[in-house]
Amino acid sequence: MAKVIVWNLVTLEGFFEGKEKWDLGFHGDAWGEELSALSSEFGREAGLLVFGRVTYEGMKAYWTSAEEEGETKGFMNALPKLVASRSLTGSDWNNTTVTADIVGEITRRKAEAGKDIYVFGSAVLTESLLAAGLVDEIMIAVAPVTVGQGTPLFKPNAEKRHYALIAARPLKNGTVILHYGVKPVV
């Protein structure tokens, strides 16, 4: 059975983007050799990448036109991708499937044997998958920066959930990777 792992980068305040959509400038405060190595590890471990529509559009625009070459670009373009959307009906990004029934599709794919399923970004999608009990682990890179305002990863009105710490790993640049298991609701 595959695990569903959510991955995101946030500021100290918990924002996954700044004041404007796709304001990800703080990623530069976290990025470095160690995060690059972790990104490559994700590419080797992932069997499927999952995005909400907004994150998908940004990822597709970036990774299909990025001038940089390397392992991360390779796996972002090659790995199977699943997009949760009620408005899109298809995609021209390599190995991409679009679904309006993300909970049903993730439930089906999670039951299959295989590599893990990674959800990148996608706060609204993450909340939906948490509410459906489909997320097994959450990995968050907390960048050593505040931006004053932005979009929080976890919505203030979301239901209370408990998590079990799997690992906490500080990086040389002050970023901390927090890795949690999602405790089942009882």
Residue 147: exposure state from Cβ atoms within 10 A (0-12, 13-18, ≥19): middle
The amino acid sitting at 2 is: A
Percent of the chain with pLDDT over 90: 70
When divided into structural domains, the chain yields a total of 1
CATH of the domain at 118: 3.40.430.10
The larger pLDDT score, comparing residue 114 to residue 170, is at 170
* pLDDT of 152 above 90: yes
pLDDT at residue 121, as a whole number = 83
The domain of 35 spans 4-182
DSSP letter at 107 equals H
Q: Which residue has the higher pLDDT, 113 or 176?
A: 176
Supply the pTM of this predicted model. Answer: 0.92
Q: Contacts by 98-105 with C-beta closer than 8 Å and gap 24+?
A: 102/50, 102/128, 102/129, 103/128, 103/129, 103/132, 103/134
**pLDDT at position 1, please?**
86
| pLDDT score, position 89 | 86
pLDDT of residue 22: 83
pLDDT, tens digit (0-9, with 9 covering 90-100), for 74-86: 889 899 999 999 9
DSSP output for 33-62:
HHHHHHHHHHHHHEEEEEEEHHHHHHHHHH
Structure tokens at 180: 């949690």
Q: Does residue 15 register a pLDDT over 70?
A: yes
pLDDT value of residue 73: 85
Asked whether residue 156 carries a pLDDT value surpassing 90, the answer given is no
pLDDT per residue as tens digits for the range 31-70: 999 999 999 899 899 999 999 999 999 899 888 888 877 8
In the predicted structure, residue 186 carries a pLDDT above the cut 70 = no
